[in-house]
Amino acid sequence: MPKDYLVPLLRESQSKILLLILDGLGGLPMEAGGPTSLEAANTPMMDRMAAEGTLGQIVPIRPGITPGSGPAHLALFGYDPLTYLVGRGALEAVGIGMQVKPGDVAARGNFCTLDANGLISDRRAGRISSEAARPLTTMLQTIEVPGVEIEVQHLKEYRFAIVMRGEGLHGEIEDTDPQRVGMAPLEPVAQDKASERAAKLLRQWIGSAQALLAGQPQANGVTLRGFGTDPVLPKFQDMYGLKAACVAVYPMYKGVSQLVGMDVQRFEGEQPADEFAEVARVWPDYDFVFCHVKKTDSMGEDGNFAGKQAIIEIVDQALQTVLDLKPEVVIITGDHSTPAKMKYHSWHPVPLLLWAPERGLQDLQTAFGERACALGGLGTIPATEILPLALAHAGRLGKFGA
């Protein structure tokens, strides 16, 4: 179990912790000398919390490593992503409520477009809509492969999830998406002997899928990626003694939370204010709430500097709702950086704000931003250390040794 030195130190407490993740929070200036989206944003509430609290920077995986969202969130929860590898397929399948048990094999599927020679001409089938993709997913659900049970569910647009269940299955299988056009989809190849049965059955399934889709104008092929199973992660509650809830909109983040044993909440609405209302609703029942805001990352990926800034401002305006809950500890940070300038995830350290008025050591910083965080009192620390810091500031850890 990661951080098992914490377990003997855990203390009973009524104190509560909010972990607010603004996905892809970290950024870069669009031009030298300019501000980042976070620095440009008008954030009176976060700035007040920065002045009252302590800033720092987190390194998601290792210096220089650009994280995917799955490993970045595992790190935030205290699981070193170099040790705990979880296939994206399992994360997404679990995130939309599919069962993935140890021994099942899950994968993420994409509809794609194949040309007359069977070569991929569009890896995302022209980004077909969810409306267009759902009936195709229903077709895939009719495929039967003897000896195993197969479940297929639509995710969003051209994406679906597949879970195979049966005896003797293992998921060490290579992606079938060649990651470029002009090539045929790859065969699912087992990376070890134990996974050969699953790979063979998946080849059967893919054959049936291509046959069923052959007449489609755009989505006449499939690729599969991110094979994996339930990694049987050590449970968050066992590691930290925290009863934990997840408030998130996107399947992926619900999936990670579910796999570590958090209670994933279902609620209406997708705006930060909707999420904070849900945080408030579940607050009395939990010690720890993880709340995930996605759109900061989406705006960064779109290269929309002002849009990212606007989302941060919307979050700031809604923050009073959660401060009214009187949390002992609030941590605001991101899972990674997504600079609008790069239109992509990046490796840059992520701004970290720890607000714990009872037990925190105020530093000299008075605004929440990348450059202020580099001067913050928490220093530059691995993302995996924020949970121990949260526990300490919540009065939930006893002394190590005498």
> Which residue has tokens 């104008």?
217
C-beta of residue 376 within 8 angstroms of C-beta of residue 112 = no
Sole binder of a second copy in the list 211, 214, 306, 361 (CB under 8 A): 361
- Amino acid (1-letter code) at residue 71: P
* β-pairing verdict for 244-247 and 120-122: unpaired
Sole binder of a second copy in the list 18, 24, 46, 67 (CB under 8 A): 67
Bridge partners (DSSP) listed for residue 355: 330
Q: Which is nearer to a second copy, 265 or 337 (CB)?
A: 337
Cα 293 from Cα 175, distance rounded (Å):
29
> Which residue has tokens 């489609």?
216
Q: Which is nearer to a second copy, 29 or 188 (CB)?
A: 29
Beta carbon of residue 339, minimum distance to a second copy (angstroms, whole number): 8
Beta carbon of residue 240, minimum distance to a second copy (angstroms, whole number): 11
Sole binder of a second copy in the list 279, 322, 378, 383 (CB under 8 A): 378
Cα 381 from Cα 143, distance rounded (Å):
49
Sole binder of a second copy in the list 10, 30, 45, 52 (CB under 8 A): 52
Helix (H, G, I), strand (E, B) or coil at 256: helix
Beta carbon of residue 345, minimum distance to a second copy (angstroms, whole number): 6
Sole binder of a second copy in the list 349, 352, 368, 383 (CB under 8 A): 349
Q: Which is nearer to a second copy, 9 or 277 (CB)?
A: 9
Name residues contacting a second copy, limited to 75-94 (CB under 8 A). 81-82, 85, 88
Name residues contacting a second copy, limited to 178-237 (CB under 8 A). 225-226
Beta carbon of residue 389, minimum distance to a second copy (angstroms, whole number): 4
Choices 138-146, 274-282, 309-317, 370-378 (CB under 8 A): range interacting with a second copy: 370-378
Beta carbon of residue 296, minimum distance to a second copy (angstroms, whole number): 17
Residue 343 found at the interface with a second copy (CB under 8 A): no
Helix (H, G, I), strand (E, B) or coil at 308: helix
Give long-range contacts, CB 8 A cutoff, 24+ apart: 184-191. 184/114, 184/118, 184/119, 184/120, 185/112, 185/114, 185/120, 185/221, 185/222, 185/223, 186/223, 188/224, 188/227
Of 234, 112, 278, which is closest to residue 182 (Cα–Cα)? 112
Give Cα separations from 86 to 70, 202, 396 (angstroms): 8, 20, 29
Sole binder of a second copy in the list 1, 5, 99, 118 (CB under 8 A): 5
For 67, which DSSP code?
P
Q: Which is nearer to a second copy, 325 or 381 (CB)?
A: 381
Sole binder of a second copy in the list 65, 119, 145, 282 (CB under 8 A): 65
DSSP secondary structure letters along 12-54: -----EEEEEETTBB---SSTT---HHHHS--HHHHHHHHHSE
Residue 362 found at the interface with a second copy (CB under 8 A): yes
**28-47 footprint of a second copy as x/- string (CB under 8 A):** xx--xx--------------
- The residue count for the chain: 402
C-beta of residue 172 within 8 angstroms of C-beta of residue 190 = yes
Beta carbon of residue 364, minimum distance to a second copy (angstroms, whole number): 5
Beta carbon of residue 242, minimum distance to a second copy (angstroms, whole number): 13
Choices 13-21, 131-139, 280-288, 340-348 (CB under 8 A): range interacting with a second copy: 340-348
Helix (H, G, I), strand (E, B) or coil at 281: helix
Residue 258 corresponds to which tokens in the numbers above?
A: 């579910």
Cα 200 from Cα 164, distance rounded (Å):
12
Sign of CA dihedral 54, 55, 58, 64: negative
Residue 388 found at the interface with a second copy (CB under 8 A): yes
Q: Which is nearer to a second copy, 300 or 349 (CB)?
A: 349
Beta carbon of residue 65, minimum distance to a second copy (angstroms, whole number): 5
**Residues binding a second copy (CB under 8 A):** 5-6, 9, 28-29, 32-33, 52, 57, 61-72, 81-82, 85, 88, 108, 225-226, 342, 345-349, 357, 359, 361-364, 370-371, 374-381, 385, 387-393, 397-402
